A and B are shown apart, each in its own frame.
Chain A
């Protein structure tokens, strides 16, 4: 029979709160990392990227943190809005881009 589908981690926050989405990557040789947002019926949308020679990078309302020692990425969203509700994927690049499993963010009004 069919195996069960992916069980996405879920994060539920109140509108206006800050959100932190975490991701563990697998390849210590990966040198470029990207966060994507995917809304229902759409393709993944680029949010922010960071290279391995950096620990932190800020965009508009978003910050990405990279901890190479423990192979961990996080995405911080400030003042989360209902429009931020989506699935968020981290991705690592070492010759090719590999996606993580994704986190479902739900913003409650």
Chain B
């Protein structure tokens, strides 16, 4: 079975550039989540969607971050402009239902902003 698919696996960019991370959730899953992982803060929830609708974006660090889910099989997380402190591993996860089924994670995008 195909799991959650994220691209790219690695992204290196210069400060000020726009970065777009992509995610394809597991087919049939109704909820999608974006997390960020750093050594300093561990795993932080940035935003989550249910049936393609953003439910809670209170974890998004600032206006430079935005996320979209135009359909049930695709989501993007965009950072514009990027800053060195955005360097982290960004994970996408999906679940069958919201709040009572396990999240299944992709293998992440390692972002380095120089």
Q: Do A and B bind each other?
A: yes
Which stretch, B65-73, B74-82, B104-112, touches the partner chain A? Answer: B104-112
Chain A: interface size category: 20 to 34
Is A45 an interface residue, CB under 8 A from the partner? yes
CB pair B105–A97 under 8 Å, yes or no, is no
A residues in contact with B43, CB < 8 Å = 44, 89, 99
Is B99 an interface residue, CB under 8 A from the partner? yes
CB pair A44–B105 under 8 Å, yes or no, is yes
CB pair A43–B108 under 8 Å, yes or no, is yes
A residues in contact with B104, CB < 8 Å = 46
Hey, which bits of chain B sit against chain A, CB under 8 A? 4, 33, 39-43, 45, 48, 56, 91, 93, 99-100, 102-108
Hey, which bits of chain A sit against chain B, CB under 8 A? 2-6, 31-32, 34, 36, 41-46, 49, 51, 89, 93, 95-99, 101-102
